[in-house]
Amino acid sequence: MSPKNMCDLRSTCHFTWDLNPGRSKLFRVRDKLEDIGTEEGNSWLGHIYNLRGYIQYKLGFTEDSQSLFNQATEALRLTRGAEEGPWLVVNYGNLAWLHHHLGKQEESQAYLSKVDALMKKYPSPSQDELHPEIYAEKAWTLMKFSTDQKLQAADYFERAIRMQPDMVEWNTSRVLALESASYNEGPEADILQKLRIAKEQDPENLYLAAKYLEQRGKKGESIEEEARELGRQVLINPVSKTMYLLWKKHPDVRYLKSCVALCYKWIYFRDIGQEVMDRSRIERALSLHEEVISLYPQSSLVKKIDLAKMYINSKYSQAKADQIFQELLESDLEPADKQMLYTNYAYHLFFHLNDSDRATQYHMRAAEIPHESSFRERSIRVLTQIRDRKKDRMCREVEKFLSNLQKPQCF
């Protein structure tokens, strides 16, 4: 593929979107996509196969990658009800890059020609922007890849909708991205209005309906009756109750087991503080988490930290919690994962082991990793409080640390 031809593919597929996460993030996203399933009727099915294909390539599984890209081609044709269209540009771009990297230049050029033909036949409505189908798939990909890029994803969806306003699922995803980003960036003043309009346009989307009710509840509105009605709809179009029933029938399906484990975790933490906790329920929650971790061997860091917290709060095995943390601290983790671990471990040291000095040290270790995240922000917030109170014996050290702290860089 010549330099000019490579430029022609700029910004048109996953290989050109600067998606450079570490292997641990790739495994987490891969597992999440595999758990979504590939049932017909999912409007994002082609996008799922496309992203899975790219991830498998990045992980070194090129045969799987090509098979998944080919499945994406068929899924896109099926969901759009046509043999060709602009929705295939990203897919053909992926196949062009894949064959280029495999040294199959003739096949690569063939797909590149298909991309060129589609872009000429279906030009973008705006001369200075990508085609809306490309913006939409890029936005969807960012939503799956990063919690920190939800606003960017919403912007891409907005650009796509501006040029092609009839795609209901794009607007739903845009609003959900904005709603999700509001937790980190601060709520938009009109997010409730956006959710209401999106719900009217996409009335069958129960997740969207739940988010709308949640935002109304935060505003102080009475939503009890509507929440009960939504609950009845969920049971008709089952998610929670049926997950448990399906798991009883199919106990080896890892996604169903992980859903049940999550439900047990919620119940477990809800019941903390009660004078008498159901021991059998605690033991079931712990054993389920152990099982789920074994089913996600390459993407279970968060689950392991959750398990450690559960052991701590159960008061049955402080030693087990310490063992989990020590094994994680000694493991080979990528910077962003180390940061998350250090912040969580710092809280454990402070609240459960009464070791404020080591807790402060781990907050500093988390903060000095040049990666912007909620964990870094939390550790910096704790360190700032230590500095401002001027009572901790590490106050001077913390003050010096914060004055020298560099802003995070992309890595």
Residues 359-362: contacts with CB within 8 Å, 24+ apart? 360/386, 360/392, 360/394, 360/398
Q: Looking at residue 368, what DSSP letter applies?
A: T
DSSP, residue by residue, 322-344: HHHHHHHHTS---HHHHHHHHHH
What CATH number did the domain enclosing 399 receive? 1.25.40.10
Mean pLDDT of the chain: 86
Domain check: are 286 and 374 in the same one?
yes
- Mean pLDDT, residues 293-302 taken together: 92
Against a cut of 0.85, is the pTM above it? no
Q: Is residue 311 part of a domain?
A: yes
Q: Is residue 138 part of a domain?
A: no
Rg (CA), the chain: 24
Question: What total of structural domains would you count in the chain?
Answer: 3
- Mean pLDDT, residues 214-219 taken together: 82
Domain check: are 281 and 397 in the same one?
yes
Q: Is residue 264 part of a domain?
A: no
**Residue whose tokens read 């030693």:** 319
Provide the domain limits for residue 282: 276-404
What are the pLDDT digits (tens) for 104-115? 999 999 999 999
Domain check: are 283 and 365 in the same one?
yes
Spatial distance between the Cα atoms of 173 and 391, rounded to a whole number of angstroms = 47
Q: Is residue 130 part of a domain?
A: no
Q: Is residue 257 part of a domain?
A: no
Q: At what angle do helices 132-145 and 150-163 cross, to 10 degrees?
A: 160
Domain check: are 114 and 187 in the same one?
no
The residue ranking higher by pLDDT, 267 or 185, is 267
Distance (Å) of CA 313 to CA 55, 262, 352: 37, 16, 9
Domain check: are 27 and 117 in the same one?
yes
The residue among 187, 215, 236 that closes a domain is: 236
CB neighbours of residue 212 within 10 Å = 25
Q: Contact 179/195 with Cβ under 8 angstroms? A: yes
Domain check: are 282 and 398 in the same one?
yes
Q: Contact 255/243 with Cβ under 8 angstroms? A: no
Domain check: are 338 and 284 in the same one?
yes
CA 43-46-47 angle, 5° bins: 90
Q: Looking at residue 15, what DSSP letter applies?
A: G
CB neighbours of residue 197 within 10 Å = 14
The residue among 187, 218, 236 that closes a domain is: 236
What are the pLDDT digits (tens) for 9-45? 668 899 999 888 889 989 999 998 988 766 656 789 9
Helix or strand or coil: residue 121?
A: helix
Q: Is residue 69 part of a domain?
A: yes
Q: Looking at residue 16, what DSSP letter applies?
A: G
How confident is the model at residue 146, as a pLDDT? 76
Q: Contact 22/38 with Cβ under 8 angstroms? A: no
The residue ranking higher by pLDDT, 157 or 281, is 157
CB neighbours of residue 20 within 10 Å = 9
Q: Is residue 265 part of a domain?
A: no
Domain check: are 10 and 99 in the same one?
yes
Spatial distance between the Cα atoms of 18 and 342, rounded to a whole number of angstroms = 27
What tokens appear for 38 in the block? Answer: 């590939």
Distance (Å) of CA 265 to CA 258, 283, 290: 10, 11, 12
Spatial distance between the Cα atoms of 19 and 92, rounded to a whole number of angstroms = 18
How confident is the model at residue 409, as a pLDDT? 47
Could you tell me how far CA 70 lies from the centroid of its own chain?
25
Domain check: are 282 and 394 in the same one?
yes
What are the pLDDT digits (tens) for 61-76? 999 999 999 999 999 9
How confident is the model at residue 369, as a pLDDT? 95
Q: Is residue 133 part of a domain?
A: no
Type of residue numbered 24 = S
How confident is the model at residue 408, as a pLDDT? 54
Domain check: are 36 and 98 in the same one?
yes
Distance (Å) of CA 125 to CA 91, 121, 132, 172: 20, 12, 8, 22
Task: With a cut of 50, say whether residue 240 has pLDDT above it.
Answer: no
Domain check: are 96 and 165 in the same one?
no
Spatial distance between the Cα atoms of 119 and 357, rounded to a whole number of angstroms = 60
Domain check: are 182 and 114 in the same one?
no
Distance (Å) of CA 231 to CA 161, 201, 210, 261: 31, 20, 9, 20
User: What stretches of 126-223 show up as alpha helix (H) in DSSP?
Assistant: 132-145, 150-163, 168-185, 191-201, 206-218
Q: How many helices (H) and strands (E) does the chain have?
A: 21, 0
**Kind and range of the H or E element at 348?**
helix 335-351
Task: With a cut of 60, say whether residue 186 has pLDDT above it.
Answer: no
- Which residues, at least 6 apart from 285, have a Cβ–Cβ distance to it below 8 Å? 261, 264, 265, 267, 268, 310
